[in-house]
Amino acid sequence: MSLADVQITLAPNALVAHVTGEVDMSNAEEMGATVIGATPNEARGVVLDLSAVEYLDSAGIYVIYGIRSSLQARGQALILVIPPRSPVHDALRLAGAEHPGEVTEQVEEALRVIEDAGRTD
């Protein structure tokens, strides 16, 4: 089993959380706490990069929804990076869950979405 690992990077106006490995009931809550705890209040949003996640169970799905709720309460967006036909995409589809945030296929695209959302012109 490849345990989940979360690498945090800061981009202008956003936090990027790159998640790798397997997200399940043994580590999902820790992943969520890491992401929320690292998100600066002044960030417009969080990019949750799930493109390298090999497995996602219902506990992981639940935590992603929790991340979304926490960010919404702070006025911040959640953008998910989920490639088509990836394990995360399949897990959400099989669970009958709607995407808990806007979905892009690449981190760069997600960062553009956050940047565009903050424009006032």
Q: Residue 30's domain spans which residues?
A: 26-40+54-75
| Cα–Cα dist 20/51, whole Å | 8
Sign of the CA dihedral with 22 first, then 23, 25, and 29 last:
positive
On whether residue 101 sits in a domain, the answer given is no
Is 67 among the domain residues?
yes
- Report the largest interatomic distance among the alpha carbons of the chain, rounded to a whole angstrom: 48
Q: Does 58 map to a domain?
A: yes
Residue 60 lies in a domain: yes
Q: Band of the pLDDT at 119, cuts 50, 70, 90?
A: low
Task: Give 80-95 pLDDT, tens digit per residue.
Answer: 999 999 999 999 888 8
43-77 pLDDT, tens per residue? 999 999 999 999 999 999 999 999 999 999 999 99
Strand 77-81 relative to strand 14-23, pairing? unpaired
State how far the Cα of 91 lies from the Cα of 86, in Å rounded to an integer.
Answer: 9
In sequence order, what are the beta bridge partners of 1? none
The verdict on residue 32 lying in a domain is: yes
Could you tell me the pTM of the whole model?
A: 0.91
Can you give the pLDDT at residue 118? 66
The answer as to whether 115 is a domain residue is no
In a domain, 30, yes or no: yes
Q: What share of the chain is helix, strand, coil (3-state, %, to 5)?
A: 40, 30, 30
Number of domains making up the chain: 1
* Rounded CA separation 86/95 (Å): 14
Report yes or no on 99 lying in a domain.
no
